[in-house]
Amino acid sequence: MQNYRILPAGDTALVVEFGDRIERQLSSWVLALARRLNEVMLQGVRETVPTFRSLTVHYEPMVLPADELIECIAALMRDLDGSPSSGRRWRLPACYDAQVAPDLAEVASRVGQTPGQIVERHSATAYHVYMLGFLPGQAYMGDVPAELALPRRETPRQKIPAGSLAIAMTMTCIFPMETPCGWHLIGRSPIPLWIEGDAPKALLEPGDQVSFDPVSLREYESLLVQVSDGGLRIQPE
């Protein structure tokens, strides 16, 4: 059984912590426990929130006291299968043209490759969605090829456009809306990661697998129009 510890997070949440690293095996345990808690539907559990290395469990203490929830988690952990399991698979279009990739040339220079090689390496990787956070629908995806891993920019930008595709450390992200950002911008995707409507929701979920399909600037602009007109629906493979 995987080692873990449970920490209180106020009086209505517990954090089940599996380690102190960002790696896919720890993520597998986090997601496995989230699935089991969602399957058993414990009365009093309101929400489970996966992070890189832990699972936050929000609960109603008047319905399910903390000590009872801890016992339930312990029982689930005894039989939990932490084997990696693939979620949904997505192929998202991404434009790496210099007009929408202001840091691509600098990234290429810093890692000793050409911009074309950066695009090839970045788009050839199947990324694992570790967690959602920071902005609605924003998925933290890893792992960026080791040769492309760079620290954040020394000077963050005050504002970047929605859809910006960026890398920093071992992560890559599409930023779903305009925001300040200290990551390296290497492209842009026309696909909205936060879907508005009567019941707004995120396109991606923790555990999903994402690959990027390079498209030209003209294709990117055409896809943007289709998204705006409501004529583009991206589905998992």
pLDDT, residue 2, reads 87
**Which two tokens mark 36?**
């089991």
Predicted local confidence at residue 48, as pLDDT:
96
Q: What is the pTM of this model?
A: 0.93
Domain closes at, from 46, 78, 110 = 78
Q: Is 204 left (phi over 0), alpha (psi -120 to 50) or beta?
A: beta
Q: Clarify whether residues 13 and 71 are in a common domain.
A: yes
Contacts of 87 (CB under 8 A, 6+ apart): 31, 129, 205, 206, 207, 208, 209
| Cβ-Cβ contacts under 8 Å for 12 (sequence gap 6 or more) | 58, 59, 60, 61
Domain boundary among 44, 78, 112: 78
Can you list the alpha helix ranges (DSSP code H) found in 41-147? 66-78, 104-111, 115-123
Tell me whether residue 234 is in a domain: no
Domain that holds residue 61: 5-78
pLDDT given at position 230: 81
Q: How many CB atoms lie within 10 A of CB 62?
A: 8
Q: Which of 78, 97, 132 is the last residue of a domain?
A: 78
Residues of the chain with pLDDT below 50 are: none
Q: 102 with 151, same domain?
A: yes
In a domain, 209, yes or no: yes
Strand ranges (E), 23-126: 45-50, 54-59, 89-95
- Same-domain check for residues 207 and 166: yes
The per-residue pLDDT for 195 is 86
Residue 236 lies in a domain: no
- For the chain, how many structural domains are there in total? 2
Q: Coil, helix or strand for 171?
A: strand
In this prediction, residue 40 carries a pLDDT of 94
Return the pLDDT at 194.
93
In this predicted model, what pLDDT tens digit does every residue of 132-173 receive, in sequence order? 999 999 999 999 999 999 999 999 999 999 999 999 999 999
